[in-house]
Amino acid sequence: MGRRDFLRYMGVVAAVTAWLVIAISVGVNPWFIFTKNAFSDLGGPHAVDPWIYNYGLIITAIFMGLYSINLLLLSRNKVEDFASAFVFVSGLFLALIGVYHEGTRPHVFVSTWFFTQMDMAIITWGIGSLLARDRKMGLFSLLLGVMAPVIALIIPWPSAATVEAYGIAVIDSWVAVMTFLDARHLIK
């Protein structure tokens, strides 16, 4: 397995790591209720072993940073280069969620900007794909990046965790499609 193959799958590794961290954190915090809490509660001052969640996010962010390098190597133009930078910055904000956990002043800002940066990455990749004459990837990314936040704002979610799970699933969907197309060498 070459360097490029290793980097190609780091987005999937990040996704799996994030869900494992959430699952383990929920397992050690039986008070957590998906329809009442936020995932960040798992890293807050009232959590049992909050380090699992907080350090887990930092580790996940490292995998995101590696995946952003893959996107840079995969990019076909400067706009897609820019999108890979948004993914990198999103990873930094994910790490900051682990540093500025629930109960700290910057927490809401860094957690909001994690999702915002990823939406900007997906939209920007879509624009770059259209410029590269990749209409399918361009429209998919643009629609996903624009519609996902609109849906998140319209639906009356029962808790922060439910809308966070939706946002994570959107990101994971984009990464899965990108990884599949990349592995099949369909992004040229």
pLDDT in tens, 143-183: 999 999 999 999 999 999 999 999 999 999 999 999 999 99
pLDDT in tens, 55-74: 999 999 999 999 999 999 99
CA angle 12, 29, 23 (to 5 degrees): 15
Instruction: Say how many C-beta atoms besides its own lie within 10 A of residue 53's C-beta.
Output: 26
Classify the C-alpha dihedral 124-127-131-135 as positive or negative. positive
pLDDT computed for residue 3 by the predictor: 82
- End-to-end CA distance of the chain: give it in Å, rounded: 21
CA distance 21 to 60: 9
pLDDT computed for residue 186 by the predictor: 86
Quick one: average pLDDT of 104-125? 97
Rg of the chain in Å (alpha carbons): 16
CA angle 173, 106, 44 (to 5 degrees): 75
Q: Which tokens go with 4?
A: 């490029």
Q: Which tokens go with 18?
A: 């994030």
Residue 127 scores a pLDDT above 80 = yes
CA distance 181 to 165: 24
pLDDT in tens, 70-88: 999 999 999 999 999 999 9
Could you tell me the pLDDT band of residue 187, with boundaries at 50, 70 and 90?
confident
Quick one: average pLDDT of 38-64? 97
CA distance 150 to 27: 32
Share of the chain above pLDDT 90, in %: 95
